Amino acid sequence: MKLQQLSLFLENRPGRLEAPLSAIAAEGINILTLSLADTAQFGILRLIVRDWEKAKRVLEQAGWVVNLTEVVAVDVLDRPGGLAEALRILEDADLNIEYMYAFSLRRGDKAILIFRFEDPDRAIQVLTDKGLHVVDGEELMSFVP
Amino acid sequence: MLKELWNDAEGGFHPASAPDFLPQTALKEVQLRRLRAVVARAYANVQLFRERMDERGLTPESIQSLQDIRHLPFTVKTDLRDTYPFGLFASPMSDVVRLHASSGTTGKPIVVAYTREDVEVWSEVMARTFASCGLHRGDILQNAFGYGLFTGGLGAHYGGEALGATVIPISGGNTDRQIMLIRDFNVTALCCTPSYFTHMVERARELGIDLRDLPLRVGIFGAEPWTDGMRHHIEAEAGIKAYDIYGLSEIIGPGVAAECSAQDGLHVFEDHFYPEIIDPDTGEPLPDGAEGELVITTLSKKAMPMIRYRTRDITSLITEPCSCGRTIRRMRRIGRRSDDMFIIRGVNVFPSQVEAALMAVEGTLPHYQIILTRKGGMDRMAVEVEVTPEVFSDSIRGLEDIRTRLAQSIERILGIRVELRLVEPHTLARSEGKAKRVIDRRNEG
């Protein structure tokens, strides 16, 4: 149920984002979604890709420091209050979210969110119990053209 | 003492190593005989030495005991520059078979010369160096010291061959090829600068090659100061024993001193290189055990004898017997050179102090660079540290935390504020020779 996310350390200066993205593009690896977290001096690029093992290898060989993190993808109704509802469930269960970002893909009337939890296994349990749909890697790939 | 063993891996013994085990009395006899000869030779053939001795009313006959060496004048690096190129030669050029020269980062390079006999002595002390590090016939030695005017490459090359090892003269650079040959040629020993080897270890990891799985078992590192923390890192990451060796071109090149299996100080090949420790400020000799500047007199050099050469390296001499059985004295590893020091806001700083601070936080030594700038008359110190897989976590908080801890660790040791910047891997220049740790831009613009 968990997805593998790649994280890269980047310095916060012009042009730094392009190089790793070009490196994986050159290998024909498709990026499903990405997010950037940054401070004035540095940032973290987070990537969900189709073939994470290959992408990790390519990036490491090119000299980047790559970290592997497990994240959880959830689909929520794409209407006002859809996200709030999911967050309420997590809050009620006292689940700590380290960060989250939205997926660029939509699926009918649903939007897909990526969550990084302190305890992903318990989060999956809670979300599933409350009737939310956790999207696994295989299903996610099937949305991508 | 007569060693029956030949090329024994454990004791690192080789016939050339015999003087390492001479009883002290016999050693002192050799030293005095050679000292008197070299002083006579320098006095007779080198104008600078003769003038300085005459000024002090000294003649070669003034040297009656080893203690008398303290009356002789010092030689310093600028003497080599001032007499550029051949002013300190004691042999006619027809007897000189080799010239080496320093890179000359500041003005004129310095030139050093060797007669055939000097090259033989050099080969001998480098063979003793390798034997001391546990190498023997049958070892495959990859020599990644730079070949050329720099003394490292050829010095190690001749020494490796004299020992009977198989030498691969790859020189410095082309790291991917270095790693390929280590693997394909079953290399068992490698010599280069410690910073270059750290780079090789890092590159091997990127290429998915684990050096611990290969036959490589010994690393012989020199030409720049490095720390014990760096040694532990190298030993763990590459699965080798890492030894420190010491030398300088003005004296002979590599081969002045080397560690043994005890890894506790470097044995000085003092039958050829007589060491003294002096107070760098007053020039007064200090007793064994005291820390000060290392001064060396070459006891057997022919083409270019050096009398009481001030190395600028700070160390101390150890007289206690060594567990390896060698009787020649040891010197402590060079942690700092009086040259490396820079002064910022009135504080004397050695790069090794910054290294110790970084190591205290990370456990290993990351690639780093110190950048000094001046803004509005105020000196600033920035330290750029490359992010390693060990410290990189997926959280901004985690990275901010490591940055703060690195800065605080440096500030605690130096007592001055530093700006600490985390930078991407491979952004700091890698050296294939000596690492450049300090960039001083205070007098630019």
Q: Which domain holds residue A52?
A: 1-67
Same domain, A91 and A136: yes
Write the CATH number for A107: 3.30.70.260
Residue owning tokens 């969550």 = A115
Q: Which residue has the higher pLDDT, A136 or B270?
A: B270
Q: Are B323 and B314 in contact (CB under 8 A)?
A: no
Last residue of a domain, one of A44, A67, A90: A67
Based on the fold, state whether residues A27 and A58 are members of the same structural domain: yes
Residues A79 and A62 in one domain: no
| CB within 8 Å: B424 and A41 | no
Return the bridge partners of A66, or none. Answer: A8
- Distance from C-alpha of B131 to C-alpha of B6, rounded to nearest angstrom: 10
Residue B330: what residue type? R
Q: Judge if A8 and A57 occupy the same domain.
A: yes
- A12–B contact, CB cutoff 8 A: no
Task: Inform me whether the pLDDT recorded for B433 exceeds 80.
Answer: no
User: Residue range B344-348: average pLDDT?
Assistant: 79
The closest alpha carbon to A49, from A35, A63, A65, belongs to A35
Indicate whether A119 and A82 sit together in one domain. yes
A82 three-state secondary structure: helix
Whether residue A44 is found in the same domain as residue A77: no
- For the segment B284-300, the average pLDDT, to the nearest whole number, is 95
More confident site: A142 or B256: B256
Using the beta-carbon criterion (under 8 Å), do B206 and A46 form an inter-chain contact?
Answer: no
Last residue of a domain, one of A51, A67, A83: A67
State the residue for tokens 């039958």: B271
pLDDT digits (tens, 9 = 90+) for B145-191: 999 998 999 999 999 999 999 999 999 889 999 999 999 999 999 99
Contact A11 B395 (CB under 8 A): no
Report yes or no: B392 at the A interface, CB cutoff 8 Å: yes
Indicate if A3 and A42 belong to the same structural domain: yes
Same domain, A25 and A81: no
- Does the CB of B176 have a partner CB in chain A at under 8 Å? no
Which residues in chain A are closer than 8 Å to B421, comparing Cβ atoms?
41
Q: Domain total for chain A?
A: 2
Cα(B203)–Cα(B403) distance, integer angstroms: 24
Let me know whether A90 and A45 are in one domain: no
Q: A108: distance to nearest CA of chain B, Å?
A: 31
Q: Residue A60 and residue A63: Cα distance in Å, rounded? A: 5
* End residue of a domain, out of A67, A84, A102: A67
Contacts of B395 in chain A (CB under 8 A): 44, 98
Whole-model pTM above 0.80? no
* Same structural domain, A82 and A101: yes
Residues A61, A23 share a domain = yes
The CATH number covering residue A57 comes to: 3.30.2130.10
Residues B65-99 pLDDT 10s: 999 999 999 999 889 989 999 999 999 999 999 99
The pLDDT score that the predictor gives to residue B2 is 43
Taking one residue from A and the other from B, the number of pairs with CB-CB distance under 8 angstroms is 53
**Is pLDDT above 60 for B204?**
yes
Per DSSP bridges, beta strands B189-192 and B218-221 are: parallel
Question: Does one domain contain both A83 and A128?
Answer: yes
- Are the C-beta atoms of B257 and B331 separated by less than 8 Å? yes
